[in-house]
Amino acid sequence: MSPRNAERDLRVREERVQLILDAAITVISSKGFGAASISDIAKAAGISIGTMYHYFSSKDEIFADVLKRGQLDYGKRAAELADEQTMPPLVKLHEFAAGWLANPINWAYTIMLQSARTTETVPAEIRQAVTDRFTANLQPIARIMKDGQGRGDIIAGDPLQLAFYYVSLIQGLTLQRAPGFEIPVSIDADALIRFFEA
């Protein structure tokens, strides 16, 4: 019946979705979360508005998926580092922080995370899902903290709480990086991990 190649269609679809999500986070990070419009995103992705709605049913869905993908990528990176066998824990923490701080787009994820969790108009189930993913992503970091404590490299304290403060500090720093309006203080992973060194 179908003269189409179903497999290829699926691959094209996946590429399109990624294209749109990339465009979305780019626009959000330059225009701000509230001011990012569907037509801005469509323009950035080089597709029409109609096509956007072919892949996403609403602006909210796009934003939710952008955030979800960001959280999943971030969780994957944390899990990879936690499972890695040869790198010392402090180096892992350094790598993770450096990777996050290197991308000037990441502050946008922090804002979106916060907006999704605190804005009353966001449906409760989405707020819960975002919170759950955030909490789940703390686990691998906590494992790294615990490993480091076992080796005597990392300061004492509940590993989960340490992970939480570590992530909060990274997010707090991310927010300070406005291009062109830098604060006269260096933001670097070296200084950051010093707070967690034993």
Which residues form the interface with DNA (CB under 7 A)? Answer: 1-5, 9, 12-13, 16, 35, 37-39, 47-51, 53-55, 57-60
Contact between 109 and 70 (Cβ < 8 Å): yes
Contact between 88 and 153 (Cβ < 8 Å): yes
Nearer to DNA, 3 or 180 (CB): 3
Partner from a second copy, DNA, none contacting 3, C-beta within 5 to 8 A by type: DNA
Contact between 75 and 136 (Cβ < 8 Å): yes
Phi then psi dihedrals of residue 171, to 5 deg: -65, -45
Gap between the Cα atoms of 178 and 130, Å rounded: 25
Task: Compute how many other C-beta atoms are within 10 angstroms of the C-beta atom of residue 134.
Answer: 17
Contacting range for a second copy; rule: CB under 8 A; set: 8-16, 37-45, 54-62, 125-133: 125-133
Binding stretches for a second copy (CB under 8 A): 29-35, 107, 110-111, 113-115, 117-121, 124, 127-128, 130-131, 134-135, 138, 157-158, 160-161, 164-165, 167-173, 175-176, 178-181, 183-187, 191-192, 194-195
